[in-house]
Chains A and B, each alone.
Chain A
């Protein structure tokens, strides 16, 4: 098995927990796993990317070009920036939250909705979710990432129970039920 997952978003969206859980699940399933991300300056509201690589034996920490099997975009447009990683059969999981880049925020540029629509049409499988909306319905905006994780779990070949265990191990004890609920919501989308 070979599974390359690219997770992209905007610094501060808190994608670290989600990607850590993916690693735990892959390890529990007996696979080699590597996850590479960028901290520091890149996290201050800039575009951020995490590479997760799962397989019998993984060497490079970053995904080769055109090899991403799944791309998880925590922000609506961010996946557009990483088109060099799209594989032919890639699934896009897209949170529809918009965070305007500075040039859009100050009116110099347009948010590229046309490009988003066009690229989505060219992809084999696209799953859109308003994760923040779902999270607010469940009572806390902060668990939006867990909704997205639920969707990811549905689209990769690991046991659901392994995901639930990893979530229990990783989130603060008081928030386990809420996180599991958010995961379940995503899983059933």
Chain B
């Protein structure tokens, strides 16, 4: 049966068809929906791990235990999981193990644009790169077979335009994976130096065998056409090349690593000029040049994503002249109407605190009019950075807070809080507990009280955890983020203490708990003084009418969160009755 599936749905379908037994992942755009879709297959045990490192370790354990396993993450997630990956390369696998990593060229929803192909070379593991959803499914299934045949983890590289593009896929049935008993093999699995030295040789030998596989006929096919131009490309880039340069000969690399240099040299010999078209870093190009193969220069930007037009331009074809109006009022992403983060950020803005921020919806607190984020680096960084600020700059802990979401705190924030307490810091941490992982599309976490399937799960008690870490009970404050006056008071008190403090907000994301949505509010025009305090909240539902010089509420957008009435001094805002 044919269906239109996104790349992420196709990864999930492949896991099902390949007889996968265990999937453990941490959400991250653009990879999140893979694991959500896997969860629809009751044959597969699926979970949200607390971070990518844990997710991969669970998958390693499952492979050791004899079940095909998969872990899915975004590119920066692989940084977190890099530690187990680098040594997993040495141990190899028992049952097949596949790691899906999704890059985000153009950074639609990421803090950097790193190219994860480097991890394949770094870890000496194979990486396959599908070009559409049909290949996603085909390659993923092959990856499990290769993983077992070559005793290696296999990386599958996706990107935003693969994961979030739907293409036509032929569905197949699930096959039962080969039966592996749990493996007890100390020289293979216990990576003490004496064993690891031997395993390193196995890794090098494996890479040679994989290179031979890549040189063969099954993968990395040459499509001979016009011999004037030969293009080496892979993944999504193949599609841009085929559409922009239909006459060119193409060597499509199914494997981003290892590279079939003999085949590339032979392709180069068959064409007049050899080009490499790839997105992000000059990964293939550098390797191919290093192998002594002549590659024609292209004036390609290593930043951002490619397109049909970008590829045409690379080859000197006349660019399509198209106008873009850059003077339109900008529409950046924003916290949703009713978002439980808005009130606390308003309070932080009013107090002019310096904020070390973190990764999540609340990063949007940097935008005007709230402008209450001063740094964002990586998952969990806010707390460590606040401690660093405190130790570096006298008095800074009284003027700053770390802001982190519940899921990010559990991901890699806890260890930083342990560090702050242990090293007798003074910083204040605000945990925005909205009971969900918001930015990636509302996934459950250990503080949600629900598992991936929405079933009840043990709910982590953040207050008890902070106490156990050693934060004084009187310095742990649970507050309603919509109560701006109280939030300001508590922020003042806790930042002034020469001790670590934790402030926890306690209102859910409106998507985590729809029952918080109430009747909308409206503004009495005659009572509105035009002071514009409510428009400073940055709520998308509150609009300034420049003609009438009054604020209005778009009742289609308002969720009745009542934050605006907390700041209106004129009693102009009222709730619609049911």
Which residues of chain A have a CB within 8 Å of any CB of chain B? Answer: 10-12, 20, 23-24, 27, 32-47, 58-62, 64-66, 77-78, 80-81, 83-86, 97, 99-107, 109-112, 115, 132, 141
Q: Do the beta carbons of B164 and A38 come within 8 Å of each other?
A: yes
CA distance A65 to B333 in the complex (A): 24
A61 touches B165 (CB 8 A): yes
B30: chain A residues at CB < 8 Å are: 39-40
Q: What are 5 contact pairs spanning A and B, CB under 8 A?
A: A33-B4, A40-B32, A44-B336, A101-B331, A107-B544
Q: Are B161 and A44 within 8 A (Cβ)?
A: no
Q: How far is the CA of A10 from the CA of B32 in the complex (A)?
A: 21
Pick out which of these stretches binds chain A: B184-192, B321-329, B407-415.
B321-329
Which residues of chain B from 284 to 331 have a CB within 8 Å of any chain A CB? 307-309, 320, 322-325, 328-331
Q: How far is the CA of A20 from the CA of B5 in the complex (A)?
A: 10
**Least CB separation from A144: chain B residue:** B556
Closest Cβ–Cβ distance, residue A45 to chain B (whole Å): 4
The reply to whether B167 and A47 contact each other, CB–CB distance below 8 Å, is no
Q: Contacts A40-B30, A61-B236 known; A47 to B165 CB distance under 8 Å? A: no
Q: Is the CB of A101 within 8 A of B322?
A: no
Task: Specify which of B328, B336, B368 is in contact with A81 (CB 8 Å cutoff).
Answer: B328
Chain A residue contacts of B361, Cβ below 8 A: 44
* A109 CB contacts on chain B under 8 angstroms: 329
A107 touching B307, Cβ below 8 Å: no
B145–chain A nearest beta-carbon distance, Å? 27
Chain A residue with the shortest CB-CB distance to B161: A61
Q: A80: which B residues are within 8 A, CB to CB?
A: 325, 328
Whether A39 and B554, one on each chain, are in contact in the complex, defined by CB atoms closer than 8 angstroms, is: no
Q: 9 tightest A-B contacts by CB?
A: A40-B109, A40-B29, A107-B544, A84-B322, A46-B333, A44-B333, A41-B109, A61-B165, A59-B243
A59 to B240, CA, bound (A): 7
For residue A138, give the distance in angstroms from its CB to the closest CB of chain B. 16
Q: Quick one: closest B residue to A11, CB to CB?
A: B333
Query: Which of A20, A41, A77, A97 sits near B108, CB closer than 8 Å?
Result: A41
Whether A132 contacts B166 by the Cβ 8 Å rule is no
Cross-chain contact A105 with B364 (CB below 8 angstroms): no
**What residues of chain A lie closer than 8 Å to B324, measured between beta carbons?**
81, 83-84
Q: Is B440 in contact with A66, judged by CB distance below 8 angstroms?
A: no
**Cα distance, A37 to B8, chains bound together (Å):** 12
Identify the closest chain B residue to A100 (Cβ): B543
CA distance A128 to B532 in the complex (A): 33
Overall SS of chain B's interface: loop
Q: In the complex, what distance in Å separates the CA atom of A46 from the CA atom of B363? A: 14
Q: Tell me which of A10, A34, A38, A104 contacts B160 (CB under 8 A).
A: A38
Instruction: Collect the chain A residues with CB atoms within 8 Å of residue B166's CB.
Output: 20, 23, 33-36
The answer, among A35, A42, A112, for a CB contact under 8 Å with B165, is: A35
- Cα-based distance from A167 to B223 in the complex (angstroms): 40
Is the pair B544, A101 in contact by a Cβ cutoff of 8 Å?
no
**Provided the pairs A61-B165, A62-B307, A100-B554 are in contact, do residues A107 and B322 lie with their beta carbons within 8 angstroms?**
no
Enumerate chain A residues within 8 angstroms of B546, measured Cβ to Cβ.
107, 110
Q: Nearest Cβ in chain A — how far from B448, in angstroms? A: 19
Q: Is the C-beta of B560 less than 8 angstroms from some C-beta in chain A?
A: no
Q: Would B4 and A35 count as touching, CB distance under 8 A? A: yes
A83 near B322 (CB under 8 angstroms)?
Answer: yes
Given A42-B108, A102-B540, does the pair A62, B161 have CB atoms closer than 8 Å? Answer: yes
Q: Are A112 and B328 in contact (CB under 8 A)?
A: yes
- Inter-chain CA distance A81–B328, complex, in Å, is 7
Docked complex Cα distance between A132 and B41 (Å): 36
B270 within 8 A of A: no
B335 vs chain A, min Cβ distance (A): 7
Of chain A, the residue at the smallest CB distance from B2 is A27
Residue of B nearest to A42 (CB): B108
CB distance from A184 to the nearest CB of B (A): 23
Residues in A neighbouring B540, C-beta threshold 8 A: 45, 99-100, 102, 105
Give CA–CA (A30, B240) in the complex, Å: 23
Given A35-B166, A60-B307, A100-B543: A46 touches B109 (CB 8 Å cut-off): no
B160 A27 Cβ-Cβ under 8 A: no
A45, A58, A80, A141: most-surrounded residue (chain B CB, <10 A)? A45
Q: Which chain A residues border B532 with CB–CB below 8 Å?
A: 106-107
Contact A83 B325 (CB under 8 A): yes
A64 and B4 within 8 A (CB): no
Which residues in A have their C-beta under 8 angstroms from that of B161?
A: 36, 61-62
Whose C-beta in chain B lies nearest to the C-beta of A62? B307
**Hey, which chain B residues are within 8 Å of A78, CB to CB?**
331
Q: Which residues in B have their C-beta under 8 angstroms from that of A58?
A: 167
Q: Which of B160, B166, B244: most chain A CB closer than 10 A?
A: B166
Measured CB to CB, the nearest residue on chain B to A111 is B329
Chain B residues in 8 Å Cβ range of A35: 4, 165-166
Please, how many angstroms separate the alpha-carbon atoms of A77 and B329 in the complex?
Answer: 10
CA distance A60 to B361 in the complex (A): 31
Residues of B within 8 A of A20 (CB): 4, 166
Please indicate the chain A residues that have their CB under 8 angstroms from the CB of B29 in the complex.
39-41
In the complex, are the beta carbons of A66 and B320 less than 8 A apart? yes
Residue picked from A41, A83, A103, most chain B C-beta under 10 Å: A41
> Which residue of A is nearest B243, CB measured?
A59
* Min distance, Cβ B520 to any Cβ of chain A, angstroms: 12
Interchain CB contact under 8 A, A105 and B544: yes
B residues within 8 A CB of A83? Answer: 322-325
Contact status B108-A32, CB under 8 Å: no
A12 vs B324: C-alpha distance when bound (angstroms): 24
Would you call B168 an interface residue if the criterion is a C-beta within 8 Å of the partner chain's C-beta atoms? yes
Given A61-B239, A84-B323, A102-B538, verify A33-B330 contact (CB < 8 Å).
Answer: no
Tell which of A10, A27, A44 has the most Cβ of chain B within 10 Å. Answer: A44
